[in-house]
Each structure stands twice: as structure tokens, then as C-alpha cells.
Amino acid sequence: MSTPEPARLAEGLRAHTAALAEAVTGADPAAPVPTCPEWSLRDLVGHVGQAHRWTTALVRTGRADAVPDPADADPGPPDVWRGFLNEGAEDLVKAAEDVGPETIVHPFVGPLPVRFWLRRMAHETAVHHADAALATGAAFTVAPDLASDAICEALEFMASPVAETLRPGLAALRGEDQSLHLDPEDTDDPGWLIVRTPEGPRWDRADGETADVALGGPVRDLLLVFTRRLAVHDADVTVTGERALLDHWLASTAF
């Protein structure tokens, strides 16, 4: 399965931003976000809007300022949150359209095309939409193609040469060829076979593979478990094989 086109990513970014805004409307700004233990809803909203604006500046200028501290984000009073969030997402989509998805920009992780950052923000926003929904009791849905690509993107990062530099804890994912299969049971797409090699995790799309441990279920729930937004026992998933291997993976990727 190929990466969604920029227009599809933009559609997902807009949709999840709007749904996040809906989920927090009328909620207590000081309410905790259980999946981001140090944050309140105000912090979550501020971070998402801040991330969109930082990325928009990167896309428009080609270079990035230092990554801002989420503690410095100011989303304003709750009655402006909807506009704050949606305007940030719309400005990012417009910036990406203006400069073109293949234009190279130069953030701290090196030169990358604009489409990389549109994809990054679409999936980060979807996961933070889940944070808001779980905190407020709102429903959370995600299109299967976007959920699948969000898992791919996370695996691409974990297997990249810069992963351990940016997230030293990911060194714990090195192993001796232990394997994990993620099996989406509600789509025709293949799942993912992840192998913990001595050099770090490696992965490929795979269907019906045998692994040391398998996690099966709807791709929405696979995404939420894989990003540690839902515990295994709270999701519509089944585990087959070495549960300790899955637990180790989830504990080692909790960043």
C-alpha cells in the first residue's frame, strides 16, 4: 500500500483537527488528558495548534526554528479553540499547496519534502484527536487508509538511522530476531511483520505471517494500541503468542 497522496493527507488533517476541536468544545480546560499524563486539555490544544504553526513556518520559509516548548503554547480561552485549531490546519494545507509537496525544506532532522511534513502533521493530529476523545468521552474514528499509513509512518521512524539519536530509549528495540505481527482484520490490506534485529527493528508489509507474537483486530484499535492510546485489555484486539514480547515493545515505544 502506497503513502496517501497529499490531497488525502490534507483531507485527514482537516478532518481530525475539526473533530479534535469538537471533542474539546465545552470541556473543562483543566481536565487531565490520561494518555498524555502531564497535560491538561488546554495543553493538548495548545500543542496541536503550535505544531501546525511551526510546520507552516517551516514549509513557507524552507527552514525551521528550534522546536517550540509545548509549555509555551497559548491557545487562548476555550471559546476560540475551534478557530485556533482549524485556522492552524488550514494555513498548513495552504502553505503545502503553495510551495508544492516535493519542495525540500530543512528542519533539524535534515532535508525532507513538504509531503513528509503534511503526512507527519496529519497523523500526529489524528493521534491527538484520540487523546482528546478519550479524555472527554467523545467518539473516535479514523479512516482505515489513514490509520494504516499512521502505523507505517511510526515504523519508518523506528527503523530509521536517526531514531535512536532522537529517542535513545528505542535502543531497547534491538533484539535477536524476535518478531511481532500486526494483523488488521477489518481491511484487505496486509499487516505488518516487525523483526527486532541486533541493528534495530526492521519491518515489511505481510499477510498471514507466523511471528512470535501477533496482535489482531480492527486497524483503528491496532493504531490506538500501537501508539499506546489504549491498553490491550481496553481495545478490540486479540494477542496470540508471547505476550511479554508485545508488552516489551509497547513499554519501549512509550514516548
Give the Cα-Cα-Cα angle 9, 129, 110 (nearest 5 degrees): 50
Specify the pLDDT at position 255.
Answer: 66
Give the mean pLDDT of 60-82. Answer: 91
User: Which amino acid type is present at position 58?
Assistant: L
Whole-Å CA distances, 183 to 24, 151, 218: 32, 12, 8
Give the mean pLDDT of 83-93. Answer: 98
pLDDT digits (tens, 9 = 90+) for 145-187: 999 999 999 999 999 988 999 899 999 999 999 999 999 999 9
pLDDT digits (tens, 9 = 90+) for 181-228: 999 999 988 899 999 999 999 999 988 779 999 999 999 999 999 999
**Closest residue by Cα to residue 16 from 160, 166, 132:** 132
**Percent of the residues in the chain that have a pLDDT greater than 90, as a whole number:** 88
Rounded to two decimals, the pTM is: 0.96
CA-to-CA distance for 100 and 96, rounded, in angstroms? 6
CA-to-CA distance for 209 and 213, rounded, in angstroms? 10
Q: Is the pLDDT of residue 230 over 70?
A: yes
Q: Is the pLDDT of residue 108 over 70?
A: yes
Distance of CA 122 to the CA centre of its chain: 8
**Percent of the residues in the chain that have a pLDDT greater than 70, as a whole number:** 99
Q: Is the pLDDT of residue 68 over 90?
A: no
Whether residue 141 contacts residue 151, with contact meaning beta carbons closer than 8 Å, is answered with: no
CA-to-CA distance for 255 and 251, rounded, in angstroms? 9
Give the mean pLDDT of 15-34. Answer: 98
**Closest residue by Cα to residue 192 from 177, 174, 207, 173:** 207
Q: Is the pLDDT of residue 1 over 60?
A: no
- Band of residue 116 on the pLDDT scale cut at 50, 70, 90: very high
Q: Hey, what domains does the chain have and what are their CATH numbers?
A: 6-141 (1.20.120.450), 147-154+163-252 (3.30.1050.10)
Specify the pLDDT at position 254.
Answer: 81
